[in-house]
Amino acid sequence: MIQDVMTDAEARMKKAVEALRQHLGSVRTGRASPSLVERIVVDYYGAPTPINQMAGISVPESRLLVIQPWDRGSIGAIEKAIMKSDLGLTPNNDGQVVRISIPPLTEERRKQLVKLVHNYVEEGKVAVRNIRRDAATSTKELMNERLISEDDERRALHQVDELTKRFIDEMDRVGKTKEQEVLEV
């Protein structure tokens, strides 16, 4: 019973770290990366569709993204979706592909992006703490139903705290790595 609670908490915390990595992947670093635009949703014939499901995304140069849609009729919709996104990038359309040139980041923009990274990391930590609270509540319920002893409950709560600390430290490491990447000139 306790092991089920621990396994569930660990699996959910791993998903929270993975979600953080995906969010941080969409933060601009001054280098072109397909992950910058993969999460942008395009209104494709009335259906919201991620760009990576309707086009090939390549990086021919370190500061250039090329999006080649499989349906050339969707180029306008892709261009519009990129303009609406919070990336602050301007796409160029030549009728065949959409090119996005990535300008170098200013110091002010780098600081804004670092704040954004910190916000994503803090949201991830809150998610992990919520999972910790859920696991602690489940453990207390097991003790109240007399399915486990008080000693078992104390041990389980200690294990949950250790697990929480491990995943929060992991999120801090991921955030620091991204912060260094953003500040790199």
Please tell me the chain's helix, strand, coil percentages from 3-state DSSP, rounded to the nearest 5: 65, 15, 20
Q: Which secondary structure element, helix H or strand E, spans residue 131, and what is its range?
A: helix 107-144
- CATH domain 2-25+106-183 topology: Topoisomerase I; Chain A, domain 4 (1.10.132)
pTM over 0.95? The answer is no
Looking at residue 42, the DSSP 8-state letter turns out to be E
C-alpha distances (whole Å) from 149 to each of 5, 7, 152, 160 are: 15, 19, 5, 16
Pick the CATH number of 35-101 from 3.90.420.10, 3.30.1360.40, 3.90.25.10, 3.30.1300.10: 3.30.1360.40
Tens-binned pLDDT, residue by residue, of the chain (185 aa): 888 889 999 999 999 999 999 888 877 777 778 888 887 899 888 889 898 888 999 988 888 889 999 988 888 889 888 888 877 788 888 888 999 988 887 888 888 888 989 999 999 999 999 999 999 999 999 888 888 888 888 999 999 999 999 999 999 999 999 998 888 76
Range(s) within the chain of domains with CATH label 3.30.1360.40: 35-101
* Helix locations, 26-98, DSSP H: 35-38, 75-84
